[in-house]
Amino acid sequence: MLTADHDGVIVADIVAEWARRHGQPYRLELTGPAGGIWSFGTGGEEIVMDATEFCRVISGRPGPDGGQPRGLLATQVPF
């Protein structure tokens, strides 16, 4: 069972590292109990997805469609 108080803090740390690694403008909306909304700059890529799926993808696993992630989601954060 995911919670905002526990898992949401972990996801926020992962998002911060991901954003630092790619350094590009973005707007990220992660859904679910561990989700939230983050952004940097203007005119960047907009991503809306489940927080758990986001973490799976940027850790190097295949994307939701089974293929390789593209755009900013190709920036990996090993954890």
pLDDT digits (tens, 9 = 90+) for 8-36: 999 999 999 999 999 999 999 999 999 99
Q: What is the pLDDT of residue 67?
A: 78
pTM of the model: 0.91
- Count the Cβ atoms, other than its own, within 10 Å of residue 36: 15
Residue that the structure tokens 């590009």 belong to: 24
The pair of structure tokens assigned to 19 is 């954003």
Question: Measuring CA to CA, how many Å separate 12 from each of 30, 65, 69, 74?
Answer: 10, 24, 20, 18
pLDDT tens per residue across span 29-68: 999 999 999 999 999 999 999 999 999 999 988 767 777 8
Q: Measured between alpha carbons, how far is 57 from 74 in angstroms, rounded to an integer?
A: 8
